[in-house]
Amino acid sequence: MVRPFDDTTRRNIAELCAAFSRTPSDGAVPELKRAAVAIALTEARSDDGTAFLLTRRAASLRAHAAQWALPGGRCDHGETPAQAALRELHEELGVGLGEGDVLGLLDDYPTRSGYLITPVVVWVSTSADIIANPAEVASVHRVALGDIEREDVFSFTTIPESTRRVIRFRHAGQHIHAPTAALIYQFAEVLAGRETRVAELEQPVFAWR
């Protein structure tokens, strides 16, 4: 399904996010550090309508180097998840947005590496160029929403180290894992009008550090 990059799509996705009932997590895992990522919706290449921005982290980073990720990072003291996601989006990709561009929040996802990630859905209404910060981002990619609405794009497997299912998102001939895959999967489910929980979906062992 191609979703045109226009005001109608923006309203439709905002309505879907508003209808989504987030699972409360405040206080449930106080030992986890708060973080936020942006599911940043923008115009796709060619005729693919609306896309979201996916990055490949710089190889020089100390944590999770060269991994696929949504733009984001740790919340600064006093920041809301939305503020943190917008700041990180600007720092990583040069995209400056305001809180009026936030369409909604999805469920918090607890990671094995000690973070509680809040996904923030935002609409990139600006026409400014997207410029990756080389200190943090090796490359930036536009993934059409139609690509995450296919039935075969997400798969599940198991690992000996856990009883939980491991989620995988197939993109560009590779498997992207949780937390990124879990957050994208929940967003795809929101687009379909479903409230699917993802906090129990497992990460591969290499992402536990």
172-207 pLDDT, tens digit each: 888 999 999 999 999 999 999 999 999 999 998 988
* Residue 67, domain member (yes or no): yes
Q: Which residue has the higher pLDDT, 107 or 113?
A: 107
Quote the domain boundaries for residue 17: 7-147
| Closest to 80 (Cα-Cα) out of 93, 96, 94, 99 | 99
Q: In this model, does residue 64 exceed pLDDT 70?
A: no
Q: Can you name the residues that pair with 109 across neighbouring β-strands? A: 117
Residue 50 amino acid letter? T
Q: Please state the φ and ψ torsions of residue 123, each to the nearest 5 degrees.
A: -105, 120
pLDDT digits (tens, 9 = 90+) for 150-177: 989 999 999 999 999 999 999 988 899 9
21 in a structural domain: yes
| % residues pLDDT > 90 (the chain) | 77
Q: Which two tokens stand for residue 180?
A: 């990124």
| Cβ atoms of residues 45 and 142 within 8 Å | yes
Q: Assess if residue 196 is contained within a domain.
A: no
Are the C-beta atoms of residues 16 and 26 closer than 8 Å to each other? no
Residue 18 lies in a domain: yes
Instruction: Give me the pLDDT at residue 122, please.
Output: 98
Domain assignment present for residue 120? The answer is yes
Residue the block writes with tokens 């923008």: 42
The enclosing domain of 11 has a CATH number of 3.90.79.10
Side-chain half-sphere of 132: how many Cα atoms within 13 Å?
17
Q: What's residue 25's pLDDT?
A: 73
pLDDT tens, 68-94?
Answer: 999 999 999 999 999 999 999 999 999
* 138 assigned to some structural domain: yes
Q: Which residues pair with 156 in a beta bridge?
A: 167
Total structural domains in the chain? 1
Angle at 117 between CA 10 and CA 204, to 5 degrees: 110
